[in-house]
Amino acid sequence: MERSTQHTATSTSFLSSGSDAVIRIRNLHKSFEETTVLRGVDLDLKKEENLVVLGRSGTGKSVLIKCIVGLITPDKGQIEVLGEDVLNLDAKAMNTLRRKVGFSFQLSALYDSMTIRENLEFPLKRNLGIYDRKELNHRVEQALEEVGLAQAIDQWPADLSGGQKKRIGVARTLILNPEIMLYDEPTAGLDPITSEEINELILEVQKRHGTSSIIITHDLTCARTIANRLIFLHKGQNHFDGSFEELSNTKDPLLRTFLDYYNI
Ligand SMILES: Nc1ncnc2c1ncn2[C@@H]1O[C@H](COP(=O)(O)OP(=O)(O)OP(=O)(O)O)[C@@H](O)[C@H]1O
Ligand SMILES: [Mg+2]
């Protein structure tokens, strides 16, 4: 690894104090039957940071962030989110924590059989138990305004473009006012101009709400625009941790192959 994150964790000292990290992951391992995916990943997300996670397809990026929200249970390692030891939480505490962590999936994952309004009301009802019509309307309208799609409220997902669906996906995550946002390939499949708009939206959300974000992407233009820091995973391990400038100046052959492809 080019510049390592600190390996200070032990099982007793793991739950941090005085650290400004909102997520701390140490030595994370995960295999699916014969396939070993994560082989000791470390990650720190600092408060109000935009951390980009890069790496080739299949290297375990999505698995990593699914572990953070408890959708996948790792085999070994430690995960601390907002001071909570994720792997040792009971279901109730995990649910409370999940409300603070917004997860925007790799595919925008809107329900096609629901209008945009219904798609946005869904997390409010399920996660916050809000059923009051006025309150629902107010929150849905506000979230749509934030992503510039107030007019889409009564449309169906099938009527929207890919970029608009991504925006709705962001709105659906934002509507719960999370402290941390996890974006899995927010610009995949979008043209460069629409991608740039989504990047700007991510930056706006970060500034306006003071959220801390992990953004998984293959899009280095996106990474350049939004990353305060980047990590590069390779074969389930950390291979690089640093700024975009440090990445673009690297002589590491593996990273060069990746960067040359983008002419960086
Ligand atoms: N639930 C699962 N069951 C079995 N194998 C899985 C599961 N989830 C992921 N994998 C495997 O783990 C590996 C890593 O998958 P992951 O989705 O994390 O890759 P990725 O780095 O996000 O790739 P991409 O850039 O293409 O999205 C793949 O080999 C995948 O098939
Ligand atoms: Mg993925």
**Integer angstrom CA distances of residue 21 from 14, 83, 141, 233:** 12, 9, 32, 20
Atom 3 (ligand 1) nearest CA: 32
Q: What's the predicted TM-score (pTM) here?
A: 0.89
Q: In angstroms, what is the span from residue 62 Cα to ligand 2's centroid?
A: 4
Which three-class secondary structure state does DSSP give residue 49?
A: coil
What lies within 8 Å, CB to CB, of 23 at 6+ separation is 43, 44, 45, 68, 79, 80, 81, 82, 180, 212, 214
Q: In angstroms, what is the span from residue 55 Cα to ligand 2's centroid?
A: 9
Q: Which of 61, 185, 233 for a ligand 1 pocket mutation test, highest count of atoms within 8 Å of Cβ?
A: 61
Atom 28 (ligand 1) nearest CA: 58
Task: List the chain residues with pLDDT less than 50.
Answer: 4-13
Pocket of ligand 1 (CB under 6 A): 32, 35, 37, 55, 57-63, 106
Please indicate, yes or no, if residue 33 is contained in any of the structural domains: yes
Q: Which atom of ligand 1 is nearest to the CA of 60?
A: 18
How far apart CA 248 and CA 245 sit, in angstroms, is 5
Q: In angstroms, what is the span from residue 180 Cα to ligand 2's centroid?
A: 19
How far apart CA 36 and CA 21 sit, in angstroms, is 27
Please indicate, yes or no, if residue 109 is contained in any of the structural domains: no
pLDDT of residue 18: 56
Please indicate, yes or no, if residue 85 is contained in any of the structural domains: yes
pLDDT of residue 95: 86
pLDDT of residue 5: 43
pLDDT of residue 17: 55
Q: In angstroms, what is the span from residue 207 Cα to ligand 1's centroid?
A: 31
How far apart CA 205 and CA 236 sit, in angstroms, is 30
Please indicate, yes or no, if residue 112 is contained in any of the structural domains: no
Domain that holds residue 208: 2-100+178-261
Please indicate, yes or no, if residue 158 is contained in any of the structural domains: no
Q: In angstroms, what is the span from residue 62 Cα to ligand 1's centroid?
A: 6
Please indicate, yes or no, if residue 123 is contained in any of the structural domains: no
pLDDT of residue 6: 42
Q: Assess contact for 174 and 143: CB atoms under 8 A.
A: yes
**Ligand closest in space to the Cα of 37:** 1
Please indicate, yes or no, if residue 172 is contained in any of the structural domains: no
- For residue 166 the two structure tokens come to 């991504």
In the DSSP assignment, the letter for residue 6 is: P
Atom 30 (ligand 1) nearest CA: 58
pLDDT of residue 104: 79
**Ligand closest in space to the Cα of 34:** 1
Task: Look at the chain and report how many structural domains it folds into.
Answer: 1
Per-residue model confidence as pLDDT tens digits over 181-213: 999 998 888 888 888 888 998 999 899 999 999
User: Strands 180-184 and 21-32: what pairing?
Assistant: unpaired
Q: In angstroms, what is the span from residue 25 Cα to ligand 1's centroid?
A: 19
Q: Which atom of ligand 1 is nearest to the CA of 33?
A: 4
How far apart CA 177 and CA 6 sit, in angstroms, is 31
The CATH number covering residue 28 comes to 3.40.50.300
Please indicate, yes or no, if residue 131 is contained in any of the structural domains: no
Tell me which long-range contacts 142-146 makes (C-beta under 8 A, separation of at least 24).
Answer: 143/171, 143/172, 143/174, 143/175, 144/116, 144/120, 144/168, 144/171, 146/171, 146/174, 146/205, 146/208
**Integer angstrom CA distances of residue 235 from 60, 187, 230:** 8, 23, 17
Q: Which helix (H) or strand (E) holds 230?
A: strand 229-234
Other CB atoms within a 10 A radius of the CB of residue 145 amount to 12
What lies within 8 Å, CB to CB, of 48 at 6+ separation is 206, 210, 211, 212
pLDDT of residue 178: 93
How far apart CA 158 and CA 96 sit, in angstroms, is 32
Atom 18 (ligand 1) nearest CA: 60
